[in-house]
A and B are shown apart, each in its own frame.
Chain A
Amino acid sequence: MSFSLPLVKMQALHKSYGDGAVQVLKGIDIEMKPGERVVVIGPSGGGKSTLLRVMMGLEQIDSGSISFDGKAYISSQGTGRKTAIDTEVRRSIGMVFQHYTLFPHLNVTQNLILAPCKVRGETKAKAETRAQTLLERFGLAAKAKAYPAQLSGGQKQRVAIARALMLDPKLMLFDEVTSALDPELVSEVEQVILQLASQNMPMMIVTHDMWFAKNIASRVIFCAGGIVVEDGPPEQVLGAPKEERTKEFIDRVFHIKQ
């Protein structure tokens, strides 16, 4: 598959907050091939989460473009101009966030079927059947009628993943989905993501969990100061980094872990 066209192609992404006062992305170029599982690591404020948010069209960009499946769906012509977003293309991308993502007034099934019914015009019965199948797959069948407030953090995140999958995304973005969880709940969520990985779902993951990064990544990108510092297979970036800044970061993180 190494000759296939890129699934995602980011070109010269620049993003700043406060009219250019704080630069978060300083020219990001990343190509992602179909089937790749890219884990983005790096220090806080290094632009990792911003990168995912930009890909989802949640943030304006100053300049650059992103294409998906060969179609440019996000582009900007300069600071202060409105970022152009092709919402049709964006619908192929699913995203799961750190927290507060389930709609508290809807039960689990209603959370899952809202978008399929309202966005794609799917019938309620059909969407509910699919929801049921997904919930069973993720061990959540018993929670179909529960409200988010009645779920544990881990269950909430698994529901959020199921909800994103209801739209049949061709790429999944995970933005620190286990960071807000109690330690004993982390693995049930990571198991679900690993299960998706085993089905070759392309994904881009921002995480601070190096064990998880090592287990799931087919490629690791180290982002710091708004640029890609190092990019390569997990054995290289996590095991034997070439760049001094990556080495420092990895040393510090693993030192804390052990």
Chain B
Amino acid sequence: MNYTFDFNAVSISPLLQGLWVSLELTAAANVIGVVLGFVLALLIMSNYRMIRLPFMLFVELFRCTPAIVQIVWIFYCVPMIFDVFLDPITMGVLALGLNLMAFNAEAYRAAIQAVPREQLDAGIALGLSPLQRILYIVFPTAFRASIPVLLTNGIVIFQQSALVAIVAIQDLMYQGKTLATETYRPIETFTVVALIYFAVSFPITQIVGLLERRRQLLSS
């Protein structure tokens, strides 16, 4: 291979701007995913079929279609079908947030089912209302138990966020593509882009590992 690497051609500042957009998308999607994911988990666990079934369908739609198809669909079809025009970032947050919501709901469901029945009985015996039992007993317990999965899903969404580049949101991947075209240095550019994604994700995967080891230690 006669290729001469030239990393000087890769200017870092547009990439960092792109990273900032990616992080904003990730943060906003995680707020939706963590909060509404729990609400969605409660809905798919409802005793009433009329409530449960539509939301189960919602979850399965997001779990059984490629994320890139979801993003493209939301970008092109939602404005036409519902006649709403939102700015691209909002659309990106919506697409990623809904996807994350579906995955987090499944994580929460497992954790909610693991809350001992006795805890809820104790809540009833103490006179807590159904909503209070969810807020003060179920959510804190289920949230703690779900943290490793929530973090993993959150970091997956950070990586999936690269997909929004194809609908012209100026995230890290988009800036990388632009830079690669301008400089004719795709190898160097995408290497740097990959390293930036890695640098953000890796510490979080390590934290997840740490949390899981600690949990095993505590439960043994």
Cβ contact of B127, chosen from A102, A103, A104, A115, cutoff 8 A: A115
| Interface pair A100/B118, CB less than 8 Å apart | yes
In the bound complex, CA of A174 to CA of B191 (Å): 66
| Interface pair A114/B125, CB less than 8 Å apart | no
User: Chain A residues with Cβ under 8 A from B140's Cβ?
Assistant: 103, 105
Interface check A163, CB cutoff 8 A: yes
Cβ contact of B128, chosen from A57, A100, A104, A115, cutoff 8 A: A115
| Interface pair B126/A97, CB less than 8 Å apart | no
Q: How many residues of B contact A (CB 8 A)?
A: 18
| Interface pair B128/A118, CB less than 8 Å apart | yes
Interface check A167, CB cutoff 8 A: yes
Using CB atoms, name the residue of chain B closest to A87: B127
Interface check A220, CB cutoff 8 A: no
User: Chain A residues with Cβ under 8 A from B70's Cβ?
Assistant: none
| Interface pair A58/B125, CB less than 8 Å apart | yes
Min CB–CB distance B193 → chain A (angstroms)? 40
Cβ contact of B119, chosen from A53, A90, A94, A100, cutoff 8 A: A100
What does DSSP make chain B's interface, helix, strand, loop or mixed?
A: helix
| Interface pair A103/B137, CB less than 8 Å apart | yes
| Interface pair A101/B128, CB less than 8 Å apart | no
User: Chain B residues with Cβ under 8 A from A114's Cβ?
Assistant: 126, 128, 136
Using CB atoms, name the residue of chain A closest to B121: A58
| Chain A residues close to B by CB (< 8 Å) | 53, 56-58, 87, 90-91, 93-95, 97-105, 114-115, 118-119, 149, 160, 163-164, 167
| Chain B residues close to A by CB (< 8 Å) | 116, 118-119, 121-122, 124-129, 132, 136-137, 140-141, 144, 218
Q: Known pairs A95-B125, A103-B119, A149-B218. 8 more at Cβ < 8 A?
A: A58-B124, A58-B125, A97-B122, A97-B125, A103-B122, A115-B126, A115-B127, A118-B132
A-B contact pairs, 9 of them (CB 8 A): A56-B121, A56-B124, A93-B125, A97-B118, A101-B119, A102-B122, A103-B122, A149-B218, A167-B126
